[in-house]
Protein backbone atom coordinates (compact mmCIF):
# COMPACT_ATOMS: atom_id res chain seq x y z
CA UNK A 1 0.00 0.00 0.00
CA UNK A 2 2.68 2.37 1.02
CA UNK A 3 4.38 2.82 -2.33
CA UNK A 4 1.13 3.70 -4.05
CA UNK A 5 0.01 5.89 -1.20
CA UNK A 6 3.33 7.67 -1.03
CA UNK A 7 3.32 8.38 -4.74
CA UNK A 8 -0.21 9.63 -4.82
CA UNK A 9 -0.58 11.64 -1.63
CA UNK A 10 2.24 13.83 -0.39
CA UNK A 11 0.02 15.20 2.38
CA UNK A 12 -0.83 11.75 3.61
CA UNK A 13 2.78 10.69 3.33
CA UNK A 14 3.75 13.58 5.55
CA UNK A 15 1.10 12.68 8.07
CA UNK A 16 2.15 9.06 8.14
CA UNK A 17 5.73 10.10 8.76
CA UNK A 18 4.71 12.73 11.29
CA UNK A 19 2.59 10.32 13.25
CA UNK A 20 5.57 8.15 14.03
CA UNK A 21 2.97 5.56 14.80
CA UNK A 22 4.77 2.49 13.48
CA UNK A 23 7.21 2.84 16.36
CA UNK A 24 4.54 2.96 19.04
CA UNK A 25 4.81 -0.17 21.13
CA UNK A 26 2.05 -2.16 22.73
CA UNK A 27 -1.26 -3.54 21.68
CA UNK A 28 -1.72 -0.77 19.17
CA UNK A 29 0.90 -1.25 16.52
CA UNK A 30 0.33 2.30 15.37
CA UNK A 31 -1.12 2.89 11.94
CA UNK A 32 -2.17 -0.61 11.07
CA UNK A 33 -1.22 -1.92 7.66
CA UNK A 34 -0.93 -5.60 6.91
CA UNK A 35 0.22 -6.77 3.49
CA UNK A 36 -0.76 -3.56 1.82
CA UNK A 37 -4.07 -3.21 3.63
CA UNK A 38 -4.96 -0.80 6.37
CA UNK A 39 -6.36 -2.58 9.42
CA UNK A 40 -8.40 -1.49 12.41
CA UNK A 41 -6.08 -1.32 15.43
CA UNK A 42 -7.12 -2.95 18.69
CA UNK A 43 -7.72 -0.64 21.62
CA UNK A 44 -5.42 -1.05 24.64
CA UNK A 45 -8.45 -0.66 26.94
CA UNK A 46 -12.05 -1.86 27.03
CA UNK A 47 -14.81 0.17 25.41
CA UNK A 48 -16.25 1.00 28.83
CA UNK A 49 -12.92 1.84 30.43
CA UNK A 50 -13.18 5.58 29.75
CA UNK A 51 -16.51 5.96 31.56
CA UNK A 52 -18.00 8.11 32.88
CA UNK A 53 -16.14 10.61 30.70
CA UNK A 54 -16.73 8.81 27.39
CA UNK A 55 -19.43 6.17 27.36
CA UNK A 56 -18.75 2.61 26.32
CA UNK A 57 -21.43 2.82 23.63
CA UNK A 58 -19.72 5.81 22.04
CA UNK A 59 -16.37 4.06 22.15
CA UNK A 60 -17.78 0.89 20.63
CA UNK A 61 -19.50 2.69 17.76
CA UNK A 62 -16.65 5.12 17.25
CA UNK A 63 -14.02 2.39 17.04
CA UNK A 64 -15.81 -0.60 15.53
CA UNK A 65 -18.05 1.28 13.10
CA UNK A 66 -16.72 4.75 12.32
CA UNK A 67 -13.01 3.91 12.33
CA UNK A 68 -13.67 0.67 10.47
CA UNK A 69 -15.42 2.69 7.77
CA UNK A 70 -12.32 4.85 7.31
CA UNK A 71 -10.16 1.72 7.11
CA UNK A 72 -12.44 0.23 4.46
CA UNK A 73 -12.62 3.50 2.55
CA UNK A 74 -8.86 3.89 2.59
CA UNK A 75 -8.30 0.37 1.26
CA UNK A 76 -10.93 0.90 -1.41
CA UNK A 77 -9.43 4.23 -2.50
CA UNK A 78 -5.92 2.77 -2.66
CA UNK A 79 -7.17 -0.18 -4.70
CA UNK A 80 -9.05 2.07 -7.12
CA UNK A 81 -6.01 4.30 -7.56
CA UNK A 82 -3.78 1.28 -8.14
CA UNK A 83 -6.10 -0.02 -10.83
CA UNK A 84 -6.43 3.38 -12.45
CA UNK A 85 -2.67 3.84 -12.37
CA UNK A 86 -2.09 0.45 -14.00
CA UNK A 87 -4.37 1.53 -16.83
CA UNK A 88 -2.78 4.94 -17.13
CA UNK A 89 -6.13 6.48 -16.20
CA UNK A 90 -4.83 9.39 -14.18
CA UNK A 91 -8.12 11.23 -14.42
CA UNK A 92 -9.75 8.40 -12.51
CA UNK A 93 -6.90 8.35 -10.01
CA UNK A 94 -7.25 12.09 -9.47
CA UNK A 95 -10.96 11.85 -8.82
CA UNK A 96 -10.33 9.32 -6.05
CA UNK A 97 -7.66 11.45 -4.36
CA UNK A 98 -10.18 13.26 -2.11
CA UNK A 99 -11.43 9.88 -0.85
CA UNK A 100 -7.86 8.85 -0.13
CA UNK A 101 -7.35 12.03 1.87
CA UNK A 102 -10.64 11.64 3.75
CA UNK A 103 -10.45 7.96 4.65
CA UNK A 104 -6.67 7.89 5.00
CA UNK A 105 -6.83 10.91 7.28
CA UNK A 106 -9.68 9.32 9.20
CA UNK A 107 -7.63 6.19 9.79
CA UNK A 108 -4.51 8.11 10.83
CA UNK A 109 -6.36 10.57 13.05
CA UNK A 110 -8.36 7.94 14.91
CA UNK A 111 -5.35 5.69 15.42
CA UNK A 112 -3.52 8.61 17.01
CA UNK A 113 -6.64 9.51 19.01
CA UNK A 114 -7.07 6.08 20.63
CA UNK A 115 -3.46 6.21 21.73
CA UNK A 116 -4.09 9.66 23.22
CA UNK A 117 -6.66 8.20 25.61
CA UNK A 118 -6.41 6.05 28.73
CA UNK A 119 -8.73 5.18 31.61
CA UNK A 120 -8.76 7.73 34.42
CA UNK A 121 -7.97 4.84 36.79
CA UNK A 122 -4.72 4.22 34.90
CA UNK A 123 -2.65 6.71 32.91
CA UNK A 124 -5.54 8.99 32.01
CA UNK A 125 -5.87 12.57 33.17
CA UNK A 126 -3.65 14.71 35.35
CA UNK A 127 -0.95 16.93 33.92
CA UNK A 128 2.01 16.35 31.63
CA UNK A 129 5.46 16.16 33.14
CA UNK A 130 9.09 16.61 32.20
CA UNK A 131 10.17 18.37 29.02
CA UNK A 132 6.64 18.46 27.61
CA UNK A 133 5.31 20.22 30.68
CA UNK A 134 8.08 22.82 30.42
CA UNK A 135 7.40 23.36 26.72
CA UNK A 136 3.66 23.77 27.31
CA UNK A 137 4.30 26.33 30.04
CA UNK A 138 6.76 28.17 27.79
CA UNK A 139 4.39 28.30 24.81
CA UNK A 140 0.97 28.59 26.47
CA UNK A 141 1.68 30.10 29.89
CA UNK A 142 0.49 27.10 31.92
CA UNK A 143 -1.05 23.68 31.44
CA UNK A 144 -4.45 25.07 32.45
CA UNK A 145 -4.07 27.84 29.92
CA UNK A 146 -3.16 25.29 27.25
CA UNK A 147 -6.29 23.25 28.05
CA UNK A 148 -8.42 26.40 27.79
CA UNK A 149 -6.86 27.36 24.47
CA UNK A 150 -7.36 23.84 23.13
CA UNK A 151 -11.00 23.85 24.26
CA UNK A 152 -11.49 27.23 22.59
CA UNK A 153 -10.00 25.88 19.37
CA UNK A 154 -12.32 22.85 19.56
CA UNK A 155 -15.35 25.04 20.21
CA UNK A 156 -14.44 27.18 17.21
CA UNK A 157 -14.53 24.30 14.74
CA UNK A 158 -17.47 24.75 12.41
CA UNK A 159 -18.87 21.40 11.39
CA UNK A 160 -16.63 18.38 11.76
CA UNK A 161 -12.94 18.43 12.50
CA UNK A 162 -10.11 18.05 14.94
CA UNK A 163 -7.90 20.19 17.17
CA UNK A 164 -4.28 19.16 17.62
CA UNK A 165 -1.38 20.04 19.83
CA UNK A 166 1.52 19.91 17.41
CA UNK A 167 5.25 20.33 17.52
CA UNK A 168 6.50 22.63 14.79
CA UNK A 169 9.64 20.91 13.54
CA UNK A 170 10.80 24.05 11.77
CA UNK A 171 10.20 26.65 14.47
CA UNK A 172 10.75 24.24 17.36
CA UNK A 173 7.73 25.38 19.36
CA UNK A 174 4.35 23.91 20.23
CA UNK A 175 1.18 25.10 18.59
CA UNK A 176 -2.53 24.38 18.44
CA UNK A 177 -3.98 23.80 15.00
CA UNK A 178 -7.40 22.71 13.77
CA UNK A 179 -8.22 20.59 10.75
CA UNK A 180 -11.54 20.28 8.98
CA UNK A 181 -13.17 16.91 8.40
CA UNK A 182 -10.44 14.24 8.43
CA UNK A 183 -7.59 16.28 7.00
CA UNK A 184 -4.42 14.91 8.57
CA UNK A 185 -1.79 17.07 10.22
CA UNK A 186 1.24 17.29 7.97
CA UNK A 187 4.01 19.57 6.79
CA UNK A 188 6.22 20.85 9.59
CA UNK A 189 3.77 19.74 12.26
CA UNK A 190 4.16 16.59 14.33
CA UNK A 191 0.80 15.66 15.88
CA UNK A 192 1.18 15.14 19.62
CA UNK A 193 -2.39 15.21 20.91
CA UNK A 194 -5.58 15.18 18.90
CA UNK A 195 -9.15 15.64 20.05
CA UNK A 196 -11.99 14.54 17.82
CA UNK A 197 -14.67 17.24 17.49
CA UNK A 198 -16.97 15.25 15.22
CA UNK A 199 -20.46 14.78 16.63
CA UNK A 200 -20.01 11.01 16.49
CA UNK A 201 -17.38 11.42 19.24
CA UNK A 202 -19.79 12.80 21.83
CA UNK A 203 -23.39 13.20 20.71
CA UNK A 204 -24.83 9.99 22.19
CA UNK A 205 -23.72 11.11 25.63
CA UNK A 206 -23.46 14.89 25.56
CA UNK A 207 -25.94 15.79 22.79
CA UNK A 208 -25.55 19.51 22.06
CA UNK A 209 -23.39 20.12 25.14
CA UNK A 210 -20.12 19.61 23.35
CA UNK A 211 -18.28 21.97 25.70
CA UNK A 212 -18.90 19.37 28.44
CA UNK A 213 -17.29 16.70 26.26
CA UNK A 214 -14.28 18.94 25.61
CA UNK A 215 -13.96 19.47 29.37
CA UNK A 216 -14.48 15.83 30.32
CA UNK A 217 -12.00 14.38 27.88
CA UNK A 218 -9.06 15.83 29.82
CA UNK A 219 -9.82 13.21 32.49
CA UNK A 220 -8.81 10.46 30.05
CA UNK A 221 -5.92 12.06 28.19
CA UNK A 222 -2.86 9.83 28.17
CA UNK A 223 -0.05 12.32 28.69
CA UNK A 224 2.57 9.58 28.54
CA UNK A 225 1.76 9.08 24.87
CA UNK A 226 1.92 12.81 24.23
CA UNK A 227 5.25 13.01 26.04
CA UNK A 228 6.74 10.15 24.04
CA UNK A 229 5.67 11.77 20.76
CA UNK A 230 7.10 15.09 21.91
CA UNK A 231 10.43 13.61 22.94
CA UNK A 232 10.90 11.67 19.74
CA UNK A 233 13.61 13.34 17.62
FE1 LIG B 1 -14.15 10.22 15.13
**Are residues 183 and 87 part of one domain?**
no
- Give the Å distance between the CA of 200 and the centre of ligand 1: 6
Neighbour order of strands in the sheet with 189-196: 174-180, 161-168, 189-196
The per-residue pLDDT for 17 is: 40
Distance of CA 180 from the midpoint of ligand 1 (Å): 12
136 and 110 inside one domain: no
Residue 112 has pLDDT above 70, yes or no: yes
Please give the pLDDT value at position 82.
95
Examine the domain organization and report whether 107 and 171 are in the same domain. no
Residue 18 — very low, low, confident or very high, per pLDDT cuts 50/70/90? very low
Q: Do 177 and 213 lie in a common domain? A: yes
Q: pLDDT confidence of 26, banded at 50, 70, 90?
A: very low
Kindly state whether residue 121 falls inside one of the protein's structural domains: no
Residue 34: per-residue pLDDT:
53
Check whether residue 74 and residue 43 sit in a common domain. Answer: yes
**Structural domain of residue 210, as residue ranges?**
130-231
135, part of any domain:
yes
CA angle 129, 29, 37 (to 5 degrees): 140
Tell me, yes or no, whether 161 and 108 share the same domain: no
Weakest mean pLDDT among 9-13, 103-107, 124-128: 9-13
**Is residue 2's pLDDT more than 70?**
no
Q: Is residue 154 part of a domain?
A: yes
Q: What spacing in Å lies between the alpha carbon of 69 and ligand 1's midpoint?
A: 11
218 and 165 part of one domain: yes
Q: DSSP string spanning 125-194?
A: SS---HHHHHHHHHHHSSHHHHHHHHHHHHHT--SSEEEEEEEETTT--EEEEEEETTPPP-TTEEEEEE
Amino acid sequence: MSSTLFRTSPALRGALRASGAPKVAGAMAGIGFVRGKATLPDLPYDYGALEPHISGKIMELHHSKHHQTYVNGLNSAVQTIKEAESKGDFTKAATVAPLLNFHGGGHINHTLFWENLAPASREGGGDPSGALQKAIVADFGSVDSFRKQMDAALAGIQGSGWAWLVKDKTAGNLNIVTRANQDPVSGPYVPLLGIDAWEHAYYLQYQNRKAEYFEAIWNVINWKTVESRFEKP
